[in-house]
Structure 1
Amino acid sequence: MSKKDRRRMMAQIWGTPTSHDIDMVDEGDQIVVFSNYRGIINWWLEIFKIYYPGIKCREKGDVIKIKPSTGVTIKLNKTTRLMKISGKDHWPWFVDTFGALLDIGNGDAVELPSDGKSVSENSVTRFLQLDKDDEEVQDLLDRIPEGGGIMHHEFIMRLWKSLLDDWFGVGASVYVVTPRIDSERLFLLMLLMIRNKGTGFQVTLMTPAKQDGERFDKTMEKTKRRLKEVKSAHDARLVSDVKLEWVLLTLNIMHENFSTNFIAAYKDGEGEILTTTAHFHKSHFHQEQKDNVNYSRISAHELRKNYLLPLNIGNNVF
């Protein structure tokens, strides 16, 4: 299996809903899984004991060694909080089993003592300058006049992030539609996806293949480079290769020529939509710009018929 295929497989496994944020690196001869949660090692041990009743754990110093299967060795370090998976059969075991272990951790395993969010998630949240606060989202929506109105660019940017975060957070089907999107907005969209991994959301970005004489592919490449370069407060990469791969697998990108802007979501038979004259671009979000904004709650049928189908977004939506 190629490195690219292995990375794609790891990204799919990382996308399994988990109650705690983890990350993983494929080093070829071993896979390293890490988390910044205090007590994560006890969490892993509980999972292994549920999945492998009667499994033996050998402890020496700070390292706990487990052999869950022939040709597979797992070492848990209580100090570094690292899990190292090695052995001649470690890759097939990881592919076949690790997702099931995460499922157990999300349901049956004992919860860890609460000590806040992981460093990784906090780093993303700090970068977004966004706190998940349902009341704040509603406060922003309440500021929009009935029937819509002209709003300042800073307000629109804040509402754009907050609504997307809210929709991702409840596992909605989300649609981002704009004739112009720059690397900054695409970068934020991807961070919002990572922040809400595990909720089961779906997301579609609809934008022309060519914008302002530049191909969208170039904007995507610029965004990917930025995701790889940005560091957290601890000087580690904000987004690992596995998380980036998961984003690229999850984000559904469609191309169509049009000149309208909206973000919309569907969940449990109800639809929401924010329409605006603002492009999702620095020319509208980083300058003294004012644009029309309107927010509506509509039926799933109206969202599909009046907004999605005219842009050829999925005949089988809903």
Structure 2
Amino acid sequence: MSKKDRRKVLARIWGTPTSRDIDFIDEGNEIVVASSSKGIVAWWLQIFQAVYPNIKYLEKGDVIKLKPTVDVSVKLNKTTRLMRITGKGHWRWFVDNFEQLLDEGNNEAETLSTADSSENSVTRYLQLDKDDALVQDLLDQIPEGGGIMQNDYIMRLWKSLLDDWFGVGAIVYVVTPRIDSERLFQMMLLMLRNKGTGFGVTLVTPTKTTDGEKFAKVMDMTKRRLKEVKVLAPSGHQKRLVSDVKVQWALDSLTIVHEDFSTNFIAAYKDDEAEVLTTTAHFHKSHFHFNLKDNVCYNRLPTNDLKRNYLLPLNVTSNIF
């Protein structure tokens, strides 16, 4: 199996809902499971003992060693909070069993999507707390029937609504004839922040804008940004904001539809209820990095009306019926 195929497998498993902030690093001869969560080692021990009732472990210094099968060794480090999975059968065991371990860890969790948010580097980077009142306060600023709003307000509302919709597991659509790498980067961070809620997201945008900007180039720039942005770790060292596995998960979780049009809106539905925010602002630096003013209108409507009046005219049909 190629490194990319292994990364896609790890990304799928990482997408399992978890009550702790974890990450995977594929070292070839071992899989490293990292976490900044306090008490993570005790959490893992509790999970292993529940899934493997007869398992025994050896503790030497800061390292705890377990053997879930004869050809797999698991080492937990109480100082670094790393789990190292090694042995001849480590890959097959991880693929076949790790989701079960994560599911077991969720059994006693009060919440999955927002747990550990105070320690999550993506959450800190976005500087966006889960606050339903904030979303409603922003919506309340839109005059009845819509109105003209400032660029910074539109950006805050755009991020807050997407975060809210991802957080409740809605089916989300981002429709714009122009999107830049910064907005796409932020959207993917919001996806990562809300992994495990069961949301779906589709970006509808042309393959090339009227001024010749190719979406493929925007996507390449976004991938580089995802891989290059670093944040300060609790240890005081710089670390990547988004790992390769998380980048892969975000890419695999985003559906892209190419159509030619000139409208802008974000929308979401769950069950029979839908919301749509329409605006004249492109989701692009040309609107958000300058002191521009644009029309904004927000509506709640039945899901069937959203599909019929907003999505079908753009030929977005393959994933809505």
TM-score clears 0.5: yes
Match of 2:35 in 1: 35
Q: Deviation of residue 268 (structure 1)?
A: 2.6
In structure 1, distance between residues paired with 2:219 and 2:253? 14
Match of 1:170 in 2: 168
Q: Deviation of residue 213 (structure 1)?
A: 0.5
Match of 1:49 in 2: 49
Query: What SS does the aligned partner of 1:205 have?
Result: strand
In structure 1, distance between residues paired with 2:277 and 2:206? 20
Match of 2:88 in 1: 88
Match of 2:202 in 1: 204
Say whether residues 1:105 and 2:105 are aligned partners. yes
In structure 2, distance between residues paired with 1:240 and 1:311? 34
Match of 1:280 in 2: 283
TM-score by length of 2: 0.95
Q: Judge conservation of contact 2:30–2:87 (CA < 8 Å) in 1.
A: yes
Match of 1:312 in 2: 315
Query: What SS does the aligned partner of 2:182 have?
Result: helix
Identity %: 68
In structure 2, distance between residues paired with 1:125 and 1:68? 34
Q: Deviation of residue 126 (structure 1)?
A: 2.7
State the aligned residue count. Answer: 315
Q: Judge conservation of contact 2:117–2:123 (CA < 8 Å) in 1.
A: no
Q: Deviation of residue 127 (structure 1)?
A: 2.1
From 277, 291, 294, the equivalent of 2:294 is 291
In structure 1, distance between residues paired with 2:127 and 2:62? 37
In structure 2, distance between residues paired with 1:200 and 1:181? 24
Q: Judge conservation of contact 2:72–2:85 (CA < 8 Å) in 1.
A: yes
- What amino acid sits opposite 1:303 in the alignment? L
In structure 2, distance between residues paired with 1:301 and 1:45? 48
From 189, 205, 209, the equivalent of 2:187 is 189
In structure 2, distance between residues paired with 1:213 and 1:167? 32
Query: What SS does the aligned partner of 1:210 have?
Result: coil
In structure 1, distance between residues paired with 2:110 and 2:308? 46
Match of 1:244 in 2: 247
Q: Deviation of residue 44 (structure 1)?
A: 0.5
Q: Deviation of residue 103 (structure 1)?
A: 1.0
Match of 2:215 in 1: 216
- 1:51-91 CA-to-partner distances (Å, cap 9, x unmatched) read 11111111111111111012100001111111000001100
In structure 2, distance between residues paired with 1:253 and 1:110? 34
From 261, 264, 268, the equivalent of 2:267 is 264
- What amino acid sits opposite 1:310 in the alignment? P
- 1:5-55 CA-to-partner distances (Å, cap 9, x unmatched) read 000000000000101110010001100001111110110011111111111
Match of 1:10 in 2: 10
In structure 2, distance between residues paired with 1:72 and 1:44? 16
Q: Deviation of residue 132 (structure 1)?
A: 1.3
Structure 2 residue ranges without an equivalent (≥5): none
Q: Deviation of residue 269 (structure 1)?
A: 1.4
The runs of at least 4 aligned residues of structure 1 exceeding 6 Å deviation read none
| Alpha-carbon spacing, 1:110–1:64, altered in 2? closer, same or farther (3 Å) | farther
- What amino acid sits opposite 2:259 in the alignment? E
In structure 2, distance between residues paired with 1:51 and 1:110? 20
Q: How much is the aligned-residue C-alpha RMSD, in angstroms?
A: 1.7
